[in-house]
Amino acid sequence: MTNPIQVSKNIFNLAYISRSRLHRNRANLIQTLHTVSALEQAGIHVTLFLPPWKRKCNLQERLRELGIQRNLDIRASRSLHSRWKIWPFILFHKSTLSQADAVFTRSPEVSIILSRANLPHYLEIHEVKQLANKNLLHPIIEAYNGGIIKWLLPISQSAARGLVEAGAAKDRILVNPCGVDIRAFQGVPPLDPKRLTFPRILHAGRIGPKRGSDILKEIAKKKLAQLLLVGEVEKDFLSHPFVKVSPHVPHAKIPQLYASCEIVLLPYQRTTPTSDSMSPLKLFEAMAAGRPIIASDLPPLREILEHEKTALLVEPENIEAWIRAIETLKNDPALALRLSNTLRQEAHRYSWEARAQRIASLLKSDTNLI
């Protein structure tokens, strides 16, 4: 039988339900674990429920691999596995969840079942359009307006607008973007402007038509830079001497990856499923590393980036605009350095600690424990 959540009058106890798989290298797992770790630092005791992980995956070793230095209260539950419905988890853990001061999740499927079980909770929203496409948005809005979802925490202003347009009341929505481990990037050396004559350009993440593969191909063909592509690449992607592809980089080595480049590309297209609501982890990593960013001019990215102040923003589909932006940075090292320095300063606003503090303040004030 699962041990109950440790209840203390002096500690706020939060039950966090996630469907992220511990043994997989996904941004949702990284974001969840770092948020939970930072919540612990902010005085919130978190019991994190995850699906079971593979036997060869050692919990403590895995946490260290992902940059988590503190021990976390993580409990595996088979009923959170994607092959099962969530009802068994709720039924088995209902008394345990009821003992917590608050229940939190970023899974819309979990939220809907919690709502049907009449368990109040907080829901972090990472996408709006996809929720509508999956017929999940209406029941979430209904549960929120009915009060069983106490607050919605979208990761961008764009996502918040989408929720309001779908009928969500405005009064209990807290926008809380993704974050970054500032300390992990402190060892990344400053941008070397001499390298901009033939820069190394980084694109991290899945590579395909919805994520700017045509742009990357054109950069290679024009021999503007050395491309470092990290992630899954489409099968027919260009083979070129100026293109280096790595399928995966361990999370602990991500700062070294940014240290090995001069420019970061975020070529999200409007057809990207989360283009209306994103808050990409790689954006904040590039900021913490102090690497000039060229990004698609999309509403969620404009919330964080300002053209010619912290990045160069270009029309997503305009390949020539991407080429001109690269040439601008190559020919104007002073601009590149200014972007680099400003980004590194701005990154502190998006630390995991700042992110967790916003959640902690909300939870404590909402339950009159602050």
Residue 4: per-residue pLDDT: 54
Q: What is the C-alpha to C-alpha distance for residues 351 and 195, in angstroms, rounded to an integer?
A: 28
Domains located in the chain, CATH noted: 12-179+351-366 (3.40.50.2000), 182-349 (3.40.50.2000)
Looking at residues 91-109, what average pLDDT do you find? 93
Whether the predicted pLDDT of 83 surpasses 80: no
- Distance CA(163)–CA(137), nearest Å, equals 8
pLDDT at 5 over 90: no
> Can you give the pLDDT at residue 250?
85
- What pLDDT band is residue 37 in, cutting at 50, 70 and 90? very high
Residue-level pLDDT at 370? 42
Q: Which of 282, 358, 261, 206 is nearest to 30 (CA)?
A: 282
> If DSSP codes are grouped into helix, strand and coil, which group holds residue 171?
helix
Q: List, for residues 255-310, the tens digit of each pLDDT value.
A: 999 999 999 999 999 988 889 999 999 999 999 999 999 999 999 999 999 999 99
pLDDT at 87: 86
pLDDT, position 145: 98
Q: How confident is the model at residue 25 (pLDDT cuts 50, 70, 90)?
A: confident
pLDDT per residue as tens digits for the range 115-160? 999 999 999 999 999 999 999 999 999 999 999 999 999 999 999 9
pLDDT for 1 equals: 39
The answer to whether 73 touches 39, Cβ cutoff 8 Å, is: no
